[in-house]
Amino acid sequence: MSQQRYYTTQLQAGLGLLEETRQLLQVYQPGMSASQLYEAALASGRFPLVTARRLRNIVVECFAPRYMRDPYVAARLKSLVDHFTTAELNQLLFIYTARANLVLADFVREVYWARYSAGRNDLQLEDVRTFVTNSVREGKTQKPWSETTIKRISSYLMGCCADYGLLTTTGRNQRSIAAYRILPKVAAYLAYDLKFSGLGDNQIVSSSDWDLFGLERTDVRDQLKRLSLQGLLIFQAASDVVHIGWTYKSMEELIDVIAQS
């Protein structure tokens, strides 16, 4: 039985931290621990405006939980940082941030895309607060959050979605929902990532990671068909059964190809 995951306040250590993450990926060397990365980042001179304490916080509370839980992730992202566009890299960072922060993942799936599907193009802080308050009431946090924490996390959720490009600012407490679409190279990366995490073909199509981009099962199938046309994989489907043939035998092989394309 899988252990229940609770919502945490870890987002308060940093939202998207996009530029900081890019810089840390440049400094990172495969096999480093979080403390070694912190020391290397401190010595690199890349963070002149960040205090040592804040830098440690960014590495330990944000970068490590998102990109160092799996020893291969940071190395893979490092190899893509100079080859992916900013938008492509940011989508990958969004996937890993959502995996590490369940409150963000659920908010995007349950509130953001629900509003988009309903034809609404705005999102207000009050909508986010309602989601967080209801989540606390439903026991999704290990212990009840105070009103102050609920208010802070609501604001962080809005800020994080804005950082990753899901929202644009339209007013003080109001944001506009952006047309957020998964990019082809990110879709290829995600499909292979799910495969090498041990999922079967049908499980890959049904993975909740696609929901972060508003994709339902039929949309995912369409996405995989497009990747098939590009020769990145071979996708076959008959009614509800899908079969995926994998062109590349490792994540590193795929990364080499999509980095150069």
Q: What is the mean pLDDT of residues 12-35?
A: 94
| Average predicted confidence (pLDDT) for the chain | 94
- Between CA 44 and CA 26 the distance in angstroms is 10
For residue 242, give the H/E element and its range. strand 241-246
Give the residue from 204, 226, 254 showing the smallest Cα distance to 80: 254
Q: What is the mean pLDDT of residues 228-236?
A: 95
- Between CA 15 and CA 225 the distance in angstroms is 34
Residue 238 φ/ψ, nearest 5 degrees: -135, 115
Beta strands in 99-181 (DSSP E): 122-124, 167-169, 174-177
Q: Does residue 2 register a pLDDT over 60?
A: no
- The percent of residues above 70 in pLDDT, for the chain, comes to 99
Lookup: tokens for 156: 């962080």
- Between CA 66 and CA 48 the distance in angstroms is 23
* pLDDT (0 to 100) of residue 1: 47
Q: What is the pTM of this model?
A: 0.95
Q: How confident is the model at residue 13 (pLDDT cuts 50, 70, 90)?
A: confident
Pairing of strands 122-124, 174-177: antiparallel
For residue 55, give the H/E element and its range. helix 52-57
Q: Does residue 116 register a pLDDT over 50?
A: yes
* pLDDT (0 to 100) of residue 261: 83
Residues 6+ apart with CB under 8 A from 252: 76, 79
Q: What is the mean pLDDT of residues 196-212?
A: 96
For residue 259, give the H/E element and its range. helix 251-260
Q: What is the mean pLDDT of residues 179-191?
A: 95
- The percent of residues above 90 in pLDDT, for the chain, comes to 86
